[in-house]
Amino acid sequence: MADTLPATVHLVGAGPGDPELLTIKAVRLIRDARLIVHDGLVSDEILALASPDAELISVAKQRSRHSMPQDAINALLVRCALAGEAVVRLKGGDPFIFGRGGEEVDACRAAGVPVEVVPGISAAIGAAAQAQLPLTHRDASSAVTFVAGQCKGLTDQDWSGLAGKGRTLVIYMGVATAAQIADKLIADGVSPGLPVAVLENGTRADMRTLRTLLADLGDMVEREAVISPALIVVGEVTAHALAQDVLVGWAQRQSNGAEMRS
């Protein structure tokens, strides 16, 4: 038995990058924290909100070594809390949208550690706002799905039916595999002519929003030298975005192709 009562672990979403897109609650917890365990998606500007006395532990990928395995992160959170040290576990975006927050919550609860989750603006929701790209739209989409391009193996994932008419598919972490993603969707029956947008550096000042058609996605990512982090949005809603059309002939297709919006 520990001598002290376990402290609480707060899993806190740090949002998409812009510190103004933190929630009030996240700012309060970051400012009051004595110990912050954060990953690489959390920007320096956000970490700068922490007290100078706070201890910051990064579990991010370093140049020469891998990121801390998830089991080790879980164990670290539990060990600190059982020793009576409250932990703010700061994660990019939202803890429950590809943040592996579920596993950390499971580990805390299994160890009898109190845990609370503070939601954050997920990367796609932040980037879509800045690009003026409605993820749902009365005329174009009544369902929006989030998947991850590098969550488990891409080929192991079943995305059938998630993209197409009346649906929006958002792919996180898909830039490196953009060509395979396009092939996978087309093999699943998605039209090669469906518009797609790529949102690079979402919510940052240097954000780029590029638009093309699904069949061109892989080539476009290479041609335009898109870098991570970036999101891929597949669906008719992308026609509404503020975006740079990078497929030759796009403008003509759009002006002729009223059926794409209907």
Q: Which residues lie near a copy of itself (CB under 8 A)?
A: 13, 15-16, 18-25, 27-28, 70, 94-98, 100-103, 105-106, 109, 115, 117-122, 125-126, 128-130, 132-138, 140, 142-148, 151-152, 157-162, 166, 237, 240
Q: How far are the Cα atoms of 6, 10, 207, 212, 248 from residue 36, in angstroms, in the given order?
A: 16, 10, 28, 40, 48
Write the CB contacts of 156 (distance below 8 Å, at least 6 apart in sequence). none
Give the nearer residue to a copy of itself in terms of CB position, either 96 or 219: 96
Give the nearer residue to a copy of itself in terms of CB position, either 100 or 253: 100
CB of 141 to a copy of itself, least distance (A): 9
CB of 144 to a copy of itself, least distance (A): 5
CB of 209 to a copy of itself, least distance (A): 13
CB of 225 to a copy of itself, least distance (A): 27
Pairing of strands 115-118, 9-13: parallel
Give the nearer residue to a copy of itself in terms of CB position, either 81 or 237: 237
Q: Which tokens in the block code for residue 223?
A: 């041609």
Give the nearer residue to a copy of itself in terms of CB position, either 148 or 186: 148
Give the nearer residue to a copy of itself in terms of CB position, either 80 or 147: 147
CB of 238 to a copy of itself, least distance (A): 11
Is 3 an active-site residue? Answer: no
234/236 Cα distance (integer angstroms) = 7
Please state, as a whole number, how many other Cβ atoms lie within 10 Å of the Cβ of residue 45.
12
User: Which of 3, 18, 39, 165 is an active site residue?
Assistant: 39
User: Which of 32, 61, 71, 165 is an active site residue?
Assistant: 61
Among 184, 165, 182, 189, which residue's Cα sits nearest to residue 220?
182
Total residues belonging to the chain: 262
Q: In what order do the strands lie in the sheet with 35-38?
A: 55-58, 35-38, 87-91, 9-13, 115-118
**Phi first, then psi: what are they for 213, rounded to 5°?**
-110, 155
**Phi first, then psi: what are they for 54, rounded to 5°?**
-70, 145
106/196 Cα distance (integer angstroms) = 36
Give the nearer residue to a copy of itself in terms of CB position, either 11 or 220: 11
Is 39 an active-site residue? Answer: yes
Pairs from 109-113 (Cβ < 8 Å, separation ≥ 24): 111/6, 111/78, 111/81, 111/82, 112/6, 113/6, 113/7, 113/8, 113/9, 113/77, 113/78, 113/81, 113/82
Query: Catalytic site residues?
Result: 39, 61
